[in-house]
Structure 1
C-alpha cells in the first residue's frame, strides 16, 4: 500500500506540473517555430533530469539493458517525435476547444491498450473514476467539435494514440531506473528536433524566452516524466491514465489563478467531476486470492532480513549471493536491485496492476 500511495502522489504531481506548463507554453508559441520550441522544452527536461541524477547520485535501481533499447527507441519516437509533430500540425487545423476535446483521447487509448492488451485490471470504482474524469474533461473543453475537419481530427487522434502506446511501453520499462529512462527519452526527443530546426533554418526565440522555455520544460516535461514513470511503475498504465487526465483541469485552474483568466461555469463543474473521480480512485481497493507464476526479472525492491513475519514484501523473499548483500545492513530492511526469481506463490492482499500482478480475474 505504501508504494501504491507513492504512485498516486507521483501521478498527481506529474499531472500538476504538465498541466501548469500548457498555459505558459501557449503564451510563448509566437516566439519561434513549433519545432524549435518543442526541442527547447525537451532540452530543458534533459538538463533537469541530468541535474536530478547528479544530486541523487546512484541509487539501488536496475539500469537500462540491451534488450530494453528497442522499446525505449519506440516510445521515444512515438511520444517524443510523432506525438508532438502530429499535435502541432493538428492544432493548426482545428479550433482550440475542439483540440482540447480530442486530446482527451489519450486517456481513452491508454486505458484501452492497458486493459485489453496489457492484462491490467480496472475495477468498478476505477471505471467510474475514469468516466467522471473523462466527463469533466469534456465539460472543461465545452464538448464542441465545431470547426473540426477530418485531417485535423485524424492528426490529433494520431498524436493521442502515439502517447497512449508510449504510456504502455513506458509502464513496461518502469522497473528500470526511472531517471535513466526519462533522461534517455527526453534527450532522444530534444536532440533530433533541435538539430532539424537548426538545419532547416527555423526561428528560435530570443534568449530570455529561450531560458523561460528551458525552465518550463525542466518542470513540465522533465520532472513530470520522471514522476509519471513512478506512477506507471506503482499503479499500472490504466490508473496512471485516470490521474494524468486531470492535467487539462490543472492547466485551466492555473490560467485562472496565475494568468488571471475569467472563472467559468464549465471549470467549476469540471472541478467537481474530476475531484470526485480522483477521490474515488484514491479510495479504490482491489483484493482477492491470486497465484503468482514463476518469474525471473530485475528491479528495485525491498528486502527484510526478518522474513515474511516481519514488515517485508512477501513477493521478494529469496536467497541472495554474498556479493549482492555486500555493504548492506544485516538486521534492518533495505532497498536494493538485482536479478531475482519469484517462486510460485498463492495469497490474497490489496494490489494494483503493477509488474507483479498481471493475472486473470
Structure 2
C-alpha cells in the first residue's frame, strides 16, 4: 500500500469515528455540564491511547517526541485541546444548532488556508474543487442558515474553529513523531484541565452509566480518531487531510439516520452527492513535476526496500540502526538521517519532504 492510499484510508477512518461520535454525544448532553462531558470524552481518549501504547510498547520504527517539539506540542494541547473545546461550549450556549453546525465548517476553511498560505502546501485544481464540493456538502447538511446567530456566539465558534485549524497544521508538523505518543499527550493534556476546572467550578457530572458511555465514545471518536488523523496528516499534509476529514458531518448524519433512526432528509442526499463527488476528485488527483530537495537532517519513521529502492531514503546505516532487521526484505525503522540535495520528478503530496514553491 502506498503512503498516499494509507493516508487516505486513515483519514476516512478518523472521519468515520469522529462523525459517529457527534450524534452519540448529543444523547448525553442533558446528563451533565458541557465542560464535564468534554473532559470525560478526552479522558476516554487518554485511556484508550494509553492501552494501545502498552500493547505496542516502544515502537522501534517510530521516532519519539523530542525536546524541540515542546512548543508545537504545547500549541496543540492549548489550542486544540483547551481553547477550541471551551470556546465551542461557550459558543454553543449562545447559538441555535443549525447556525452552530454551519459555522463549525470554518475549521476546514481555516485548516486549508493556513496549510496553503502559511505552510506552503500545494493543492491543485482537483484538490481545490474537491475541497469546495465537500465544504458545500457540509453547508447543505447544516441547513446553510445563520438564523438566530449573534456576534458573541459567532465569534466564539469562529475562535474554536481557528484554534482547531492551527492545531491541525501544528499536528501535521509533529506527525513525523510517534503518533500514539502525540495523541496520548494531547488527550491527557486536554482532559485533566477540563475535569479539574469542572470540579473546581462545581459543574454537575453525568451518572456513572453515562460516564462509562462517554468514556467509550471518547475512546473511539476522540482517541483512535486523533491517532488515525495524525497518520493521515503525516502521509497527506494538512490541506488534503482537511478535505477528507470534512466528510465527518455526512458520516454523522448517516449514522444518526441508520442507528438513531433520525428522519431522512433531502439535505442528506444532496450532501452525499456533493461530498461523494469531492472524494472521487481527491482520490483521482495526482501531482507530479520536477522539484528540488535541499540538504536536510531529521529523525522520523521511513521505509527501505532493497529491491525497489526509495526516492528519499538512500543513506548509510550503522550496525545499531539495523539491529534485528532483515535487510534483504523491505523494512521500516526510525533514526536521525541526512538527505542530500537532489532533483527529480515523481507523484507527491505536501508531506515533510515536499514543501516547496510551485
How far does residue 54 in structure 1 lie from its aligned partner after superposition?
A: 1.6
- Cα distance in structure 1, aligned partners of 2:117 and 2:265: 37
1:18 aligns with 2:15: no
Which residue in 2 is equivalent to 1:303? 304
Could you list the per-position Cα deviations for residues 223-274 of structure 1 after superposition, in whole angstroms to 9, with x for gaps in the alignment?
Answer: 0000000000000000000000011111111110011010000110000000
Written as runs of structure 1 = structure 2, the 5 A alignment for 1:1-361 is: 2-59=2-59, 60-304=61-305, 306=306, 310-361=307-358
How far does residue 53 in structure 1 lie from its aligned partner after superposition?
A: 1.3
How far does residue 280 in structure 1 lie from its aligned partner after superposition?
A: 0.8
- Cα distance in structure 1, aligned partners of 2:94 and 2:52: 38
How far does residue 35 in structure 1 lie from its aligned partner after superposition?
A: 1.0
- Cα distance in structure 2, aligned partners of 1:311 and 1:151: 57
- Cα distance in structure 2, aligned partners of 1:52 and 1:228: 16
The answer on whether the counterparts of 1:171 and 1:233 sit within 8 Å (CA) in structure 2 is: yes
- Cα distance in structure 1, aligned partners of 2:121 and 2:154: 29
The answer on whether the counterparts of 1:302 and 1:312 sit within 8 Å (CA) in structure 2 is: no
Q: Secondary structure at the match of 1:315?
A: coil
> TM-score, with normalisation over the residues of structure 2?
0.98
Could you list the per-position Cα deviations for residues 177-236 of structure 1 after superposition, in whole angstroms to 9, with x for gaps in the alignment?
Answer: 000000000000001111111222211111100000000000000000000000000000
Q: How many residues are paired up?
A: 357
- Cα distance in structure 1, aligned partners of 2:323 and 2:56: 21
Structure 2 residues not aligned, in runs of 5+: none
Q: Secondary structure at the match of 1:352?
A: coil
- Cα distance in structure 2, aligned partners of 1:71 and 1:184: 12
- Cα distance in structure 2, aligned partners of 1:78 and 1:274: 28
How far does residue 69 in structure 1 lie from its aligned partner after superposition?
A: 1.0
How far does residue 56 in structure 1 lie from its aligned partner after superposition?
A: 2.2
How far does residue 314 in structure 1 lie from its aligned partner after superposition?
A: 2.1
The answer on whether the counterparts of 1:98 and 1:141 sit within 8 Å (CA) in structure 2 is: yes
Question: Which consecutive aligned stretches of 4+ in structure 1 deviate over 2 angstroms post-superposition?
Answer: none
Structure 1 residues not aligned, in runs of 5+: none
- Cα distance in structure 1, aligned partners of 2:268 and 2:134: 13
